[in-house]
Structure 1
């Protein structure tokens, strides 16, 4: 099954030490999709952050190698929602604002709970 991964989700391994791909596979997701707008967001953030966040972004760029990149331009959160709708797939994110929007749209979200385990909402 497919799952959309946003910028925040790709940063989880560096921030919390969680292997997101193993955890997602344990939930039954084996196809990882990221819109190109998320890739662009990561590149833009790279020059704006320092320290731990910069390291997290570097690791996020490495995580992209395991994802299918779908061409989709625009504001990353809007694009993530549109891609999730078109693929009928949940979104992995810890971004509270995006999770609220997903819920409003009837799209399931997957998030990090208790700093070590993924949960589906």
Structure 2
């Protein structure tokens, strides 16, 4: 099982307010209909590198993940509070938050943001 499946499962069990469901890799289009008043999350692996370059010792990897948050249309979810809850969840699991490019509107009219986190495993 890849790390995105584990994280998705952990997020779904975390009882985070306004989270409809977390998915590995992509959000199924049917979920946008099912969860019209909740945020949805897709977790993807972005980068995986050995932590020591130029060494014969291979004992640790650095992994970066993308957390795509898709908000429902309208103002049902407080984006700032929700993103704080998600960041807190990851930081409690020793993930470091990376920079992001802010919110944008997808082709279906949903507000989205891509958060990035990094950790050594």
Output the TM-score relative to the length of structure 2: 0.25
Structure with more of its chain in strand, by fraction: 2
Output the TM-score relative to the length of structure 1: 0.25
Higher relative contact order (CA 8 A, sep 6+): 1
Structure with more of its chain in helix, by fraction: 1
